[in-house]
Structure 1
Amino acid sequence: MDTSNNIVLTKPFSVLAQESDAETVYKAPNLMKRILSLFKNVRPGSDLTHFQLPALFNLPKSTLQIYGEQVYSTSTDLLSMCNKGKSPVDRLTSVVAWYISTKRPTIFGVVPYNPILGETHHVSKGNLNVLLEQVSHHPPVTALHATDEKENIEIICCQYHIAKFYGATVEGHIHGKRRLKLHNHGETYEMNSPDFSIRFLPVPGNNWVGNVNIKCLETGLVAELSFTTQSFLGFRGNRRAVKGKIIDSSSRKILCEINGHWDSTVAVKNTINGEERVILDAREVISGLQTPIVKDSKSVWPTESAIVWGQVNQAIMNKEWEKAVKAKKFVEERQREILRERASKGETWVPKHFSLSHTKEGDWDCFPVQKLVPPSPIVS
């Protein structure tokens, strides 16, 4: 944990989920009992998007940091490997491996904070600079821009989630647009996200579920993936499985088959020559990850997640639950006060790092203000 001048950074989320003591680090006592009591008055089908959880149910981390870690927190540089494929199929296969690697194991019963409007998270790893900003609060929309000037790679994401309660489960439907650009090859890959499912009974657990399409706009190649979970009762089924295929959209010809588990290994099989190889070992991707460090605390923006939630992070890390509740309430009440002041003055808040567009149907998209993300004083 790095606590430079009240900038409280914690271990990457995926590492926490793999540690043997992760269950005891952040969870308050009798967590399952608390969860069931929390939802006892919530009707099935209710929208939980703006449901405020007590600090007892929080990780010491903002949702912005979770999204950012999926991009910069890796031990294996799968992103730059997307550039190295000799053929369009090779590059799409690498994009698939990178994409699946961003789906990380999670800890049951705890979730990150809902970011406040204008909150940012800015981290660098090597040549990769990553910037996130909370560009809307209702609905909660997060924008991400990442650039690697050396590899000439760019990522632009605009996503928001809608969480609904269904009695035994909470389903998080993740919407938005995601683009990975390999500028050296003139290729743009568009992709969606699976949903995130939290099951309380009969067997508690979390999982990614649903169908994903990754399409290269220029070549017409498409990867169709399916994330599956156990059966309804939670006792059988291929847990954390992912399978799919790479096809030529013009002919619908299947070029490759994909099969494995997103939290262990994933392999691809060439349908023409039968060759099979492992494209992802998830354990290698998240092994040896360390807490980001602050190189220059004076250069960290005051909107940085690790500052906004610093006191809450520290209290949760120390298991000082009452202090955590008070610190979180202070952040949230201050946010409401700022929103009321802005409304009374007739002011409209504008994101600093992105411009936005959205349709009447509720689709959002974002466009970075700067061509390149600058290096960050926080380094992973």
Structure 2
Amino acid sequence: MATTTTTTMTTVSPTEHKSFSSHITSLLKFLSSFQGDLANATGPPSFLAPVSVTEVGCCWAQYPRLFSAAAFEPAPEKRALHVLRWFLSSLRTQLYTGIEFDKIRNGNGKNTTRGHSIRKPLNAFLGEVFLAEWKDDRAGAKTRLVSEQVSHHPPITAMHISDESAGVRADGYARVEMTFNGAVHVNQVGHAIYRVDRYNEEYLVPLPDVKVKGFLSGCLYPEITGTYHILGINGFAAEIKFWGESVLSRAKRNSFEAKIYRKGDSKKTAIYTVVGCWSEGGWTVKDAKTGQVIEKFDLDAPENQAIPITLLPVEEQDEWESRRAWAGVIEGLKTGNLSQVVEEKSKLEQAQRQMRAMEAVRGVTWEPLFFRSCSGEEHEVFRRMVKEWGLEREWKLEGERTKGVWRVNEEAVKGLKRPFRKGVSPTGYHETS
């Protein structure tokens, strides 16, 4: 979820591709010369997306029907399948964020990510908040997202998504680490917990690592590789194997193969299999025992389209909310005015540096609005599930790298009221009467 995070990208249209490709050399020089973690680095403005990393959680919340489906399924193995489908459906908009898919259909009426080179979203500043809702009248479902940048060094984003009427929620956080070695490697430290109140069930959801490839061709794209698990407290789990494009094996970009299996089965015998591509087309779900096709999930089908986001008008948002705080930068990126981008971005970033310096002098400790940090020892759900499923070596909590485990402060969310912080804005501390 958290995904959460700087893994998300937006795209360049094919008509912009030639101009975009001309900047690849400068980007490669920048990446090659940078030492250490790229997560907080400021790259060339021509590679920035008009969206902040605090909006990453939109990919988990913009499909209310899929988000809450597990709450209405009596069979536990099928609930695990619903959670897997929700996870898979989030990947395209998470990693190709900003694409208006309905405007880039190919001749067959399907969307394609080919020819759309990804860009890097804006690094969120400390205390940045993103609040949004999605209402699916057809399914009678409504999701709400609360996202906050709870740390800047290292960058950590925390998120809370809920459908109160269905009794479903997801809470997650992530620290992002980025390195360059011919490709950009994006490592996410963190996870999400998905909960269904009706069945008193929780699922441990991974945040996959991503490799950004395509530098030689001048058309950057993301790939997930490796194996990940979604672990259910109800005795069912999903194992997902990702792989990328390969000429030798004729593998298709963004491919995956997944299965639902039962705890205690050393052979991990599949109950359901899911095979397809998470960025284009979709996937097929089969009953592993009979081979019967249960579902063909089409990413571009009308019923699977993202629900339009509901936001307050920018002028009514709090100063700490993403769209308002980055308004000048976003406008410059959308209009191609890179001078405006640099000026507005520098203004905000310089103010943030001055605030941190002032806090150090005054001995002020920054406190997040909607999330709190807990000791990793308190995270009983994570430790119990990883141990029960025998994945202690593959999946570690690493709370020391994320300043603890981040959980939503439900009372603060319920009492949400603007202005969020009296006497202080993203551009500095101010005198109050």
Q: TM-score of the superposition, structure 1-length normalised?
A: 0.84
- Corresponding residue number in structure 1 for 2:351: 334
1:274 to partner: Cα distance: 2.2
The answer to whether residue 371 in structure 2 is matched with residue 362 in structure 1 is no
Question: After the TM superposition, which residues 180-199 of structure 1 pair with which residues of structure 2 at under 5 Å, given as runs?
Answer: 180-199=194-213
Deviations 1:52-88 (A, max 9, x none): 22322111000111x12212334x7211222222201
- SS in structure 2 at match of 1:61: strand
| CA distance in 1 between partners of 2:222 and 2:231 (Å) | 27
RMSD of aligned Cα (Å): 2.9
Instruction: Tell me, yes or no, if the aligned pair for 1:143 and 1:366 is still in contact at 8 Å.
Output: yes
| CA distance in 1 between partners of 2:186 and 2:330 (Å) | 24
Question: After the TM superposition, which residues 1-380 of structure 1 pair with which residues of structure 2 at under 5 Å, given as runs?
Answer: 17=11, 21=13, 24=16, 30-42=22-34, 46-65=36-55, 67-74=56-63, 77-104=65-92, 105-106=95-96, 107-126=116-135, 127-166=142-181, 168-203=182-217, 204=219, 205-217=221-233, 219-231=234-246, 236-252=250-266, 253-263=269-279, 264-278=281-295, 280-284=297-301, 292=309, 294-295=311-312, 299-357=316-374, 361-363=400-402, 364-370=404-410, 373=413
Deviations 1:281-321 (A, max 9, x none): 22237976586454465652221110111100001111101
| CA distance in 2 between partners of 1:335 and 1:309 (Å) | 13
1:140 to partner: Cα distance: 0.6
* 1:271–1:40 CA distance, 2 compared to 1 (3 A): closer
* 1:256–1:28 CA distance, 2 compared to 1 (3 A): closer
| CA distance in 2 between partners of 1:57 and 1:367 (Å) | 32
1:181 to partner: Cα distance: 0.5
Deviations 1:209-240 (A, max 9, x none): 222210112x1211000121023x89942311
Pick the structure with more helix per residue: 2
Pick the structure with more strand per residue: 1
Unaligned runs of 5+ in 2: 1-7, 97-115, 136-141, 377-398, 418-433
Larger RCO: 1 or 2 (CA < 8 Å, sep 6+): 1
One-letter identity of the residue aligned with 2:343? K
Unaligned runs of 5+ in 1: 1-12
Deviations 1:232-291 (A, max 9, x none): x89942311011211112124321222111122122221223222335322237976586
- SS in structure 1 at match of 2:207: coil
Question: Paired residues, what number?
Answer: 355
Instruction: Tell me, yes or no, if the aligned pair for 1:83 and 1:182 is still in contact at 8 Å.
Output: yes
| CA distance in 1 between partners of 2:307 and 2:76 (Å) | 34
One-letter identity of the residue aligned with 2:171? I
